[in-house]
Amino acid sequence: MHSGKKVTLVLRPAPSNTGIVFRRVDMTPPALVELHPERVGETMLCTALIQGDGRVSTVEHLLSACAGLGIDNLYVDLDAAEIPIMDGSAGPFLYLLLSAGIEELKAPKRFIRVKQMIEAKRGDGWARLLPYDGFKASFEIDFNHPAVNETSQSLEIDFSHQAYASEIARARTFGFMRDVEMLRSRNLGLGGSLENAIVLDEFRVLNQDGLRYADEFIRHKILDAIGDLYTLGHGIIGAYQGYKSGHAINNLLARELLQQQDAWEMVTLAEEQKDRVIFVDNYAFAQF
């Protein structure tokens, strides 16, 4: 999306308690970039992880798909510094992961349970995590644009009852023609096109096929938030709320959570709790 460079991505299974590890196989030796909120080194229109000489950007859509499927052990091999944008959503990653198959490992699955409200602010935007018996996300945006104004700019989804695959995964990233020159002067958006993003001029959506959801803009913001929070490496038992939030605020929220150690606890899946669902989906689910 941003570098405009071709990249080969390979997803490989990883043993229990490995986490999600990115491997820059184009470097000698391969540079490893582990998943952690403090590894996030850039949040300009994407989430980029940096560890030593290794850098991997635009990780949020792949991480969102992993969160939706409950995948928490994975090797991600790539031969460039950016995850491929695919169609601008998490849908292709979801499809490929499901096609490959998902193995349930023997180690107990761990989740972060929110016990107290945690908040992060920047400008007039904010994001919060609150206690909740499951996982739900609500978001509100405020874009002064005719095409966005015609859609709903607030949404709440409870993933205990609504499927990530059908409600969120196919929502694409979006951008405005008026920003193209500015972005390219910063070496951003060099690979962006109507094939991998919703593009708007001053009045309308330029994509010939229109929107996939009537409120695709707000759904993609929730997709991004789920991916950004998954830099924690674990699913969240709690409620996320965002207002005009983005990658930077979401990362601040994840860091704030780790700092407030009395506001959360790590819990594991117990046999007697298997009927309590966090993510429900037609194909895969995560439970606590």
DSSP state, residue 54 = E
Contacts 24+ apart (CB under 8 A), 129-133: 129/236, 129/238, 129/239, 129/240, 129/241, 129/253, 129/257, 130/238, 130/239, 130/241, 131/238, 131/239, 132/237, 132/238, 132/239, 133/237, 133/276
Name the CA dihedral angle for 232, 233, 238, 243, rounded to a multiple of 10 degrees.
50
Task: Tell me if 167 sits within 8 A of 157, measured CB to CB.
Answer: yes
Dist. CA 73–CA 100, nearest whole Å: 14
> Cα-flanking dihedrals φ and ψ of residue 149, to 5°?
-60, -25
Catalytic hit among 2, 61, 220, 247: 247
Query: If you search the block for the tokens 């560890």, which residue do you land on?
Result: 51
Name the CA dihedral angle for 284, 231, 168, 205, rounded to a multiple of 10 degrees.
-150
Dist. CA 40–CA 56, nearest whole Å: 9
Strand, coil or helix: what is 119? strand
Nearest C-alpha neighbor of 70 from the set 36, 106, 110: 110
> Does the annotation count 2 as an active-site position?
no
Annotated catalytic sites, by residue? 247
